A = this chain, B = another copy of it.
């Protein structure tokens, strides 16, 4: 990662208000190339809102700016963000329950053949390969034609993760990806987050489990009630100190009790 080159993604002075709720207040945030940034914060502190803003799903309140690779972007949208290589595992999974696994896997990015028609065979084949090879589900219900609705919670999460991770993305945003995953699946996911860095790509990683976040990130950003409450590097703080700080912030809103 190179501090002189502009960050892959940057938010400047971004706020977001929903009715009376101020979910984000004047937040500055950035991710550099090859950097894994951990995002921590209490429930409702605005982490998911920030993710959705980076993806162009939410528009910042007037005044806030979104920058991508050193350029301020106007009319940022999810379609644009994905076209530029940003993939996200949303906390709410963003699946279409009544559709098959392969349709979910390729949602919004369906491959077409030279006639402009869907390459269904390829989608089914690749979905089958990913389900077997990466998701490693043990249950019998692994056919890529199955609909997502009846899958178990962890299986659904597996589909959401797979579709974000196994396509080459410059920036991967993970909003509590290990939620509902079994021990071994969690391990696989964490391994994968590490491999993102090796490939020179970037990631934003949200997880309430500091034991998951601490070992894999380059930098930690702490959010509290919509504000940035602090920034650390794993080198500068021990896991115990971090846990303490988190508790303090959640209780008092300040870093030092």
Contact = CB atoms under 8 A, between A and B. Distances in A.
Interface residues of A, number: 46
B182 A208 contact: yes
A243 B182 CA distance: 11
A48 interface: yes
B43 A137 contact: yes
A150 B18 contact: yes
A4 interface: no
A194 interface: no
A185 interface: yes
A190 interface: no
Interface in A143-202: 150-155, 157-158, 176, 179-186
A44 interface: yes
A108 interface: no
A20 interface: yes
Given A43-B139, A44-B152, A138-B253, 20 more contacts: A18-B141, A18-B150, A21-B139, A21-B150, A23-B139, A42-B184, A42-B185, A43-B157, A43-B185, A44-B139, A44-B141, A44-B154, A45-B138, A138-B250, A182-B208, A183-B208, A183-B243, A183-B247, A183-B250, A184-B251
